[in-house]
Amino acid sequence: MPCGRWSTIGQQVSALDISADRWFTATTALLHYVLGAASQNAANHERAQALGPEPDPSAYLKSVAQSWRGLSREEFPIIRALADRGLDHDNRLQFMDGIDLIVAGITARPPTP
Protein backbone atom coordinates (compact mmCIF):
# COMPACT_ATOMS: atom_id res chain seq x y z
CA MET A 1 0.00 0.00 0.00
CA PRO A 2 1.46 3.37 -1.03
CA CYS A 3 1.07 5.07 2.39
CA GLY A 4 3.79 7.59 1.59
CA ARG A 5 1.99 8.78 -1.53
CA TRP A 6 -1.36 8.75 0.26
CA SER A 7 0.07 10.79 3.11
CA THR A 8 1.80 13.32 0.86
CA ILE A 9 -1.21 13.89 -1.37
CA GLY A 10 -3.63 13.70 1.56
CA GLN A 11 -1.78 16.47 3.39
CA GLN A 12 -2.11 18.70 0.33
CA VAL A 13 -5.80 17.85 -0.02
CA SER A 14 -6.46 18.59 3.65
CA ALA A 15 -5.10 22.11 3.05
CA LEU A 16 -7.81 22.76 0.45
CA ASP A 17 -11.03 24.46 1.46
CA ILE A 18 -13.10 21.27 1.50
CA SER A 19 -14.76 19.29 4.24
CA ALA A 20 -12.84 16.45 5.85
CA ASP A 21 -15.44 13.91 4.69
CA ARG A 22 -14.32 14.62 1.09
CA TRP A 23 -10.60 14.13 1.72
CA PHE A 24 -10.63 10.40 0.89
CA THR A 25 -12.34 10.84 -2.50
CA ALA A 26 -10.22 13.86 -3.42
CA THR A 27 -6.99 12.13 -2.39
CA THR A 28 -7.98 9.01 -4.32
CA ALA A 29 -8.73 11.02 -7.47
CA LEU A 30 -5.38 12.80 -7.33
CA LEU A 31 -3.46 9.62 -6.53
CA HIS A 32 -5.09 7.78 -9.43
CA TYR A 33 -4.23 10.65 -11.77
CA VAL A 34 -0.58 10.72 -10.62
CA LEU A 35 -0.15 6.95 -10.91
CA GLY A 36 -1.98 6.85 -14.26
CA ALA A 37 0.15 9.63 -15.72
CA ALA A 38 3.34 7.95 -14.50
CA SER A 39 2.25 4.64 -16.00
CA GLN A 40 1.35 6.24 -19.34
CA ASN A 41 4.64 8.13 -19.51
CA ALA A 42 6.60 4.94 -18.73
CA ALA A 43 4.71 3.03 -21.45
CA ASN A 44 5.33 5.83 -23.96
CA HIS A 45 9.04 5.83 -23.08
CA GLU A 46 9.18 2.07 -23.63
CA ARG A 47 7.42 2.41 -27.00
CA ALA A 48 9.78 5.25 -28.00
CA GLN A 49 12.74 2.93 -27.30
CA ALA A 50 11.32 0.51 -29.87
CA LEU A 51 12.04 3.15 -32.56
CA GLY A 52 15.76 3.08 -31.83
CA PRO A 53 18.46 2.89 -29.15
CA GLU A 54 18.07 6.57 -28.15
CA PRO A 55 14.46 7.16 -27.04
CA ASP A 56 12.99 10.18 -28.82
CA PRO A 57 9.55 11.01 -27.42
CA SER A 58 8.93 13.54 -30.18
CA ALA A 59 9.61 10.97 -32.92
CA TYR A 60 7.37 8.48 -31.16
CA LEU A 61 4.50 10.98 -30.90
CA LYS A 62 4.94 11.87 -34.58
CA SER A 63 4.65 8.18 -35.48
CA VAL A 64 1.48 7.85 -33.38
CA ALA A 65 -0.02 10.96 -34.99
CA GLN A 66 0.84 9.58 -38.43
CA SER A 67 -0.94 6.29 -37.72
CA TRP A 68 -3.96 8.16 -36.32
CA ARG A 69 -4.18 10.19 -39.54
CA GLY A 70 -5.04 6.91 -41.26
CA LEU A 71 -8.24 6.56 -39.22
CA SER A 72 -11.65 7.58 -40.54
CA ARG A 73 -12.42 11.24 -39.79
CA GLU A 74 -16.12 10.35 -39.47
CA GLU A 75 -15.58 7.46 -37.08
CA PHE A 76 -12.79 9.04 -34.99
CA PRO A 77 -13.25 12.83 -35.21
CA ILE A 78 -11.47 13.64 -31.94
CA ILE A 79 -8.50 11.36 -32.62
CA ARG A 80 -8.13 12.79 -36.12
CA ALA A 81 -8.31 16.36 -34.81
CA LEU A 82 -5.57 15.57 -32.29
CA ALA A 83 -3.43 13.90 -34.94
CA ASP A 84 -3.86 16.82 -37.34
CA ARG A 85 -2.88 19.26 -34.57
CA GLY A 86 0.13 17.18 -33.58
CA LEU A 87 0.80 15.33 -30.35
CA ASP A 88 4.13 16.90 -29.39
CA HIS A 89 3.79 18.58 -26.00
CA ASP A 90 5.48 19.30 -22.69
CA ASN A 91 4.68 16.33 -20.42
CA ARG A 92 5.31 18.30 -17.23
CA LEU A 93 3.04 21.15 -18.31
CA GLN A 94 0.32 18.71 -19.37
CA PHE A 95 0.64 16.90 -16.03
CA MET A 96 0.38 20.13 -14.03
CA ASP A 97 -2.64 21.23 -16.11
CA GLY A 98 -4.30 17.95 -15.15
CA ILE A 99 -3.59 18.56 -11.46
CA ASP A 100 -5.06 22.05 -11.81
CA LEU A 101 -8.22 20.65 -13.43
CA ILE A 102 -8.71 18.07 -10.69
CA VAL A 103 -8.10 20.57 -7.89
CA ALA A 104 -10.50 23.05 -9.54
CA GLY A 105 -13.15 20.33 -9.61
CA ILE A 106 -12.50 19.32 -6.02
CA THR A 107 -12.83 22.87 -4.74
CA ALA A 108 -15.73 23.89 -7.03
CA ARG A 109 -18.09 21.07 -6.13
CA PRO A 110 -20.31 21.86 -3.17
CA PRO A 111 -20.15 19.33 -0.36
CA THR A 112 -22.85 16.70 -0.39
CA PRO A 113 -25.14 16.64 2.64
What is 24-108's CATH number?
1.10.357.10
Sequence spans of domains, the chain: 24-108
DSSP H helical ranges for 18-56: 23-49
Question: pLDDT digit string (tens) for 66-113?
Answer: 999 999 999 999 999 998 887 877 888 999 999 999 999 989 866 566
Question: pLDDT digit string (tens) for 101-113?
Answer: 999 998 986 656 6
Q: How far apart are CA 110 and CA 79, in angstroms?
A: 33
